[in-house]
Amino acid sequence: MKETSPRFINVVAQNNGLSKNPCINGILDPTLNAYEITIFDGKRMNNFYIFFSPTKSIRVNQAVRSLTMVTYWTGDILIMRGGVRAKGVVNMRGHDAKLADFALKR
* Residue 6 lies inside a defined structural domain of this protein: no
**Number of structural domains found in the chain:** 1
Q: How far apart are CA 101 and CA 7, in angstroms?
A: 12
In DSSP notation, 24-77 reads -TTTS-SS-EEEEEEEEETTEEEEEEEEE---SSSPB-HHHHHHHSS---BS-E
14-40 per-position pLDDT tens digit: 888 777 778 777 777 767 778 888 888
Are 88 and 21 within 8 A, CB to CB? Answer: yes
* Residue 34 lies inside a defined structural domain of this protein: yes
* Residue 98 lies inside a defined structural domain of this protein: yes
- pLDDT band with cut points at 50, 70 and 90 for residue 1: very low
Predicted TM-score of the model (pTM) = 0.72
